[in-house]
Chain A
Amino acid sequence: MQETIKRKPKRKGKKIPFAYYMMVVPIGILFFIFHTIPFLRGVFYSFTDWSGYGTWKFVGLKNYLYMFGNSNITHAYWFTFKFALFATILVNAIALAIAVGLNGKIKYQNFLKAIYFLPYMLGSLIVGFVFKFIFGNLLPSLGQTLHWGFMSSNILGTTHAWIGILIMTIWQGLAFNTLIYLAGLQSVDPEIYEAAALDGVNPWQKFMRLTFPLIAPFFTINLVLSVKGYLMVFDQIMAMTNGGPGNSTTSISVEIYTQGFQGSQFAIQSANAVVLFIVVLTISLIQLRVLNKREERLG
């Protein structure tokens, strides 16, 4: 990303067509009004004691200090990191496997592609409710008839509730990641494989030495987007457990929403949102740095 900025040529004196401004400026203004201003206001209020309405005064860093002493908030961070780590690894590993499979010359390829893309078209909230029903009604009754102890009760009502949410997230997350990997695989020149076949490369080597390095940019995109998305996980938790039982599945976003809007801790949760923003930004930048370097090495 930084390279592109550096490489930008200086266009002094040259007239830039008006149409380009027409494309960028209106959206830029809308973005500024509906995204940047609310964001800056959020940052502003994180230094006050505003409860969402009424009067307020500046309290300095009090909200930030309170955050780190609050066990619910620290638990939300711990849970979110754990969740994001597992979800990112599993989604990307499985999506890559599916993409490689779909890219092979298999029967009903297009039909299967459509099937795997279907979850992406459904909202997480809807999928969440469907999975809530599956975990709450279908699986327990199946488990009871088969006499499988671990499946006879609703996983969402146990300490393993987060695994239920993880399973649903993986199911839904696969669609988009598979699509990106598939696009990457299709961009690989088949002649490379032909040449490799002449050299007598085995399938595992073919994947590790050729395919994977060649789709490295797609890997980078997927990884960054997954981590970002899963650090902000919200919809499916609201649909499936509402953060419970206890606060075992309360992610950072869920904590911000419930405590900020329902608990009138608007200012404290604004601070929390600012911290979440910094965390996501830092992690994404580190990922881009590391993965871009790796791409360069491989290229």
Chain B
Amino acid sequence: MKKGTKLLAVSASLIALSLVTNACGNSSSSEKTTLQFFSTKTENAPTYKKMIASFEKQNPDIKIQLSSPSNAGTVLKSDLAKNSIPDIMAVGGDVNYQQIQKAGVLVDMSKESFTKNTMPQYQKMITSISKGGKLDAVPYATNASGVVYNKAAFKKAGITKTPTTWDELIADAKTLKAKGITPFELPFQDSWTTMGVFNQLSSNMVGSSWIKERKNNKTTFVSTYKPVMTKYLELSKYAQKDYMGTTYNDGTKALAEGKAAMMINGNFVIPQAKTSKKSADLDMFKLPVNNDASKNKVTSGIDVALAVSKNSKNKAAAMKFVKFMMTEKNAKLYNKEQFSFSAIKGVDQNDASLKGISADLAKGDVVNYPDHYYPDGFDMTQVLTQTGVNQTKGMSDATNITKSLKKADSAFKSANVK
């Protein structure tokens, strides 16, 4: 008995020991410089892999390890907590960037040669959310909000020209509805899609300095956002039945099949819709929020910005890779494969299904997403889905607007602590 247990103990500890030594053994490799490349997006990994392959061919002494976990934000935060962030990071121009930038662990990019080739509007989107107004990441790929529409559905309803003012938009919606086509497909079961509508209204109707005042409690949602909410609710009146119960996938399917004519969201809707119907003829136009067409801008944000860690042991190699990614050839490859826009001057998006807005983006005639400036814990989608439920229950618009905005204010207040 006793002998047996001792044997058990020895073998158990041996197994444990071998596990530990195995784990250590893996890290030792040849003299190649290995760089960690972290991405917050999962869908663009194939494109990155192509770039990495051609970079490694040019630089045989550098090896790049790409990691793009699905819960990237949390992974990055825990890396930050452990004080060991990856060498190169591809992050969105949002809280993920803000959090690592705030910790002061990123290299200043403002002096780099490739930074000079990027559009100043997008540089500003980075500096405006950075501590100390610094440019600690270089903008790379951008996205664009707008209205994705089904050309065939427009033709069927006899609409020949895309609307450029709010009144035209509503008139077109009425025409479509009369023809039995859903004017706006709103897939609000997936709550993030509410922001696709709200952001565009908000960025075109409320000035960008508003959020600073709100953070200092000098203004409120109730006092400013009534016109925004009025338009938000007006749009949902032309939505499909049960819009609170429709998922994003089902919504994009309805759009591709022409059951619905428009979806108010971003350029990423197009590839998603085409997965359910490849031949769908889709294009985009900017959401005409105001009746003065010259005031309407495309809401565009930074999808990918590239940053390098200050504590990286191979900073020069990391910079070399960033520079490689920023070359026109690779930026074009990214645009083409990821169906996005480039923050680099002169790298245009020429896809036919983005024709309606690519000119605005090439000019840099854009405004940023308002929710990129919201405090961390503030979830506007919660307010907006409640608004939607209230409407489907038959609450009057006036009560609904006041109730929702009051809720937004109280949620903002409880998130705006520090």
Contacts and interface: CB of A to CB of B under 8 A. Distances in A.
B415 interface: yes
Residue of B9, B189, B250, B389 most packed against chain A (CB within 10 A): B189
B250 A136 contact: yes
B414 interface: yes
B36 to A, nearest CB: 18
B377 A157 contact: no
Given A26-B12, A136-B250, A244-B381, A71 B389 contact: no
Contact of B80 (A53, A153, A154, A248): A53
A245 B8 contact: no
A157 B242 contact: yes
A157 B18 CA distance: 52
A158 to B, nearest CB: 6
A52 B77 contact: yes
A264 B377 contact: yes
Interface in A134-164: 135-137, 140, 152-159
A245 B1 contact: no
Interface string B343-379: 0000000000000000000000000000000001111
Contacts of A4: none
Given A244-B385, A246-B383, A22 B9 contact: yes
B411 interface: yes
Q: Is the interface of B mostly helix, strand, loop or mixed?
A: helix
A134 B188 CA distance: 17
A220 B379 CA distance: 40
A156 B81 CA distance: 37
Contacts of A242: 191
Interface string A221-256: 000000000000000000000111111100000000
B73 to A, nearest CB: 7
Interface in A242-276: 242-248, 258-259, 261-265
Interface string B206-249: 00000000000000000000000000000000000111111100
Interface string A1-45: 000000000000000011100100010000000000000000000
A246 B386 contact: yes
Given A244-B381, A264-B377, A157 B246 contact: yes
A187 interface: no
B27 interface: no
Nearest to B417: A66
A19 B7 CA distance: 11
Given A52-B81, A136-B189, A71 B386 contact: no
Interface in B8-64: 8-9, 12
Contacts of B393: 159
Nearest to B377: A263
Interface residues of B, number: 44
Interface string B66-104: 000000011001101100000000000000000100110
B5 interface: yes
A17 B245 CA distance: 62
Contacts of A159: 389, 393
Contact of A22 (B5, B383, B388, B417): B5
B275 interface: no
A263 B189 contact: no
Nearest to A136: B247
Interface string A61-91: 0000010001110000000000000000000
B291 interface: no
Nearest to B410: A71
A54 interface: yes
Given A52-B77, A54-B103, A157-B189, A245 B388 contact: yes
B382 interface: yes
B392 interface: yes
B388 to A, nearest CB: 6
Contacts of A156: 189, 245
Contacts of B99: 53, 264
Contact of B377 (A140, A243, A265): A265
Interface in A168-186: none
Contacts of A246: 382-383, 385-386, 389
A45 B102 CA distance: 21
Contacts of B250: 136-137
Contacts of A248: 386, 389
5 contacts: A52-B81, A152-B242, A153-B242, A157-B242, A265-B376
Given A54-B80, A246-B386, 11 more contacts: A136-B247, A153-B242, A153-B392, A154-B244, A156-B189, A157-B244, A157-B388, A159-B389, A261-B74, A262-B376, A263-B379
